[in-house]
C-alpha cells in the first residue's frame, strides 16, 4: 500500500468549434437474416459507389449509450457531415462520414431528401457531428469559421467558489473548492462550453503513478470523497471537497 498525497492534477477538455469540424465515421453491420448472395450483391454495389467507413454496430442508433464510442473524423471547413440511410421493411443500413470522403466518383442525386419515411435518405450538416434526426429542420447548422480561443484558468479556493485563492500548503480535512473558468471577449453568444474530465491524483515522488479520479465523461470515480463537477453556466465548473489522503495499491 502506498499513500498518495493530495496533489491533484486536473486536465480538462475544452469543447470548441474551430475552423475544421468533426463527423462520425462509421457504417452499420449488414443484417444477418438476409442470404449470403444478397449480402454479396449489396456489398458489390456499396463498394463501387462509396468509400465505406469502418463498420461499427453502434452506427445506426445515436440513442444507444455505446454510440458515443463511434470513431470521429476531421472534415475540411468547406465539407459537410453526411448520413446515408437505406431501409427495407425491418432492415436498415446506415453510413456516416465526411461528404467529400465517402463518395468514390460521382455524387448521388441531390434530390434525395433527408426524411425518416423514405429510402434512401441523405442528411447533411455543416456543423460538428451530424445529428441522428432525419428531419433536416431540426439539424442546427453552425457557421464554419475561426473563433477566438477562450482564456481558461484553474484555481483551488478556500471553502467554496467565492473563497480566496489558496497559495499555501493545506492540511487534511480542510474544505477546498476546485474552480475552472473560461472567458472570451470577442464572442458573447454562447458558442463555447467546457467539460472537466480525465482527472488524476498523484504523489510528487518520481515513481508514483497517476490515479484516475474523474473519468473521460466527467464523472467522479470516488463520489464519496470527490463529488461530481457542477457547472454554473457554459464556462464555469467546480466541486467542493475536503483535503484527503488516498491509499491505492500500485
Residue 24: pLDDT over 80:
yes
Residue 15 within any structural domain of the chain: no
Helix (H/G/I), strand (E/B), else coil: 52? coil
Residue 83 and residue 48 share a domain: yes
- The percentage of residues in the chain with a pLDDT greater than 90, rounded to a whole number, is 11
Residue 125 and residue 75 share a domain: yes
Where is average pLDDT lowest: 59-68, 105-114, 150-159, 205-214? 105-114
Residue 187 within any structural domain of the chain: yes
Output the pLDDT for position 234. Answer: 83
Residue 143 within any structural domain of the chain: no
Tens digits of per-residue pLDDT, 63-83? 777 787 888 888 887 788 888
Residue 109 within any structural domain of the chain: yes
Residue 197 within any structural domain of the chain: yes
Output the pLDDT for position 1. Answer: 37
How many domains are there within the chain? 2
Instruction: For residue 32, count CB atoms less than 10 angstroms from its CB and return exposed for 0-12, middle for 13-18, buried for 19 or more.
Output: exposed
Averaged pLDDT for residues 47-63: 84
176 vs 156: CA distance, rounded Å: 7
Residue 116 and residue 27 share a domain: yes
Q: What residues make up the domain containing 225?
A: 151-243
Residue 13 within any structural domain of the chain: no
121 against 6, higher pLDDT? 121
Cell of 19: 475552423
Output the pLDDT for position 73. Answer: 86
Residue 110 and residue 51 share a domain: yes
Output the pLDDT for position 177. Answer: 94
Where is average pLDDT lowest: 114-118, 167-171, 188-192? 188-192
116 against 215, higher pLDDT? 215
- The percentage of residues in the chain with a pLDDT greater than 70, rounded to a whole number, is 73
Averaged pLDDT for residues 185-193: 62
Output the pLDDT for position 156. Answer: 92
Output the pLDDT for position 228. Answer: 92
Residue 93: pLDDT over 90:
no
Averaged pLDDT for residues 81-90: 81
Among 80, 99, 130, which residue terminates a domain? Answer: 130
Residue 8 within any structural domain of the chain: no
Tens digits of per-residue pLDDT, 125-154? 766 554 444 444 444 444 444 556 678 889
Averaged pLDDT for residues 179-187: 78
Residue 139 within any structural domain of the chain: no
Among 72, 98, 130, which residue terminates a domain? Answer: 130
Residue 171 and residue 94 share a domain: no
Q: pTM of the full predicted structure?
A: 0.44
Among 130, 161, 177, which residue terminates a domain? Answer: 130
Residue 219 and residue 122 share a domain: no
Output the pLDDT for position 140. Answer: 44
Residue 48 and residue 123 share a domain: yes
Residue 29 and residue 61 share a domain: yes
pLDDT band at 248 (very low <50, low <70, confident <90, very high): low
Residue 222 and residue 176 share a domain: yes
Tens digits of per-residue pLDDT, 211-235? 888 888 889 998 888 899 999 888 8
Residue 157 and residue 119 share a domain: no
Residue 111 and residue 173 share a domain: no
Instruction: For residue 42, count CB atoms less than 10 angstroms from its CB and return exposed for 0-12, middle for 13-18, buried for 19 or more.
Output: middle
Residue 119 and residue 199 share a domain: no
Amino acid at each position: 500500500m502506498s499513500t498518495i498525497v493530495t496533489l491533484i492534477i486536473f486536465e480538462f477538455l475544452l469543447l470548441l468549434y474551430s475552423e475544421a469540424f468533426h463527423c462520425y465515421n462509421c457504417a452499420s453491420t449488414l443484417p444477418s437474416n438476409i442470404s449470403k448472395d444478397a449480402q454479396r450483391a449489396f456489398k458489390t454495389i456499396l463498394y463501387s459507389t462509396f468509400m465505406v467507413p469502418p463498420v461499427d454496430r453502434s452506427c445506426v442508433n445515436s440513442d444507444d449509450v455505446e454510440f458515443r464510442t463511434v470513431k470521429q473524423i476531421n472534415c475540411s471547413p468547406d465539407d459537410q457531415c453526411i448520413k446515408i440511410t437505406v431501409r427495407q421493411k425491418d432492415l436498415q443500413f446506415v453510413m456516416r462520414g465526411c461528404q467529400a470522403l465517402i463518395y468514390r466518383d460521382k455524387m448521388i442525386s441531390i434530390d434525395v431528401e433527408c426524411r425518416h419515411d423514405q429510402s434512401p435518405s441523405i442528411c447533411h450538416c455543416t456543423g460538428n457531428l451530424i445529428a441522428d434526426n432525419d428531419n433536416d429542420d431540426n439539424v442546427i447548422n453552425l457557421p464554419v469559421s475561426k473563433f477566438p480561443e477562450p482564456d481558461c484558468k484553474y484555481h483551488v479556493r478556500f471553502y467554496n467558489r467565492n473563497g480566496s485563492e489558496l497559495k499555501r500548503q493545506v492540511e487534511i480535512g480542510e474544505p477546498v473548492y476546485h474552480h475552472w473558468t473560461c472567458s472570451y471577449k470577442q464572442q458573447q453568444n454562447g458558442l463555447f462550453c467546457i467539460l472537466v474530465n480525465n482527472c488524476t491524483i498523484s504523489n510528487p515522488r518520481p515513481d508514483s503513478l497517476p490515479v484516475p479520479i474523474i473519468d473521460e465523461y466527467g464523472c467522479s470515480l470516488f463520489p464519496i470523497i470527490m463529488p461530481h463537477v457542477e457547472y454554473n453556466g457554459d464556462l464555469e465548473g467546480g466541486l467542493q471537497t475536503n483535503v484527503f489522503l488516498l491509499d491505492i495499491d500500485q
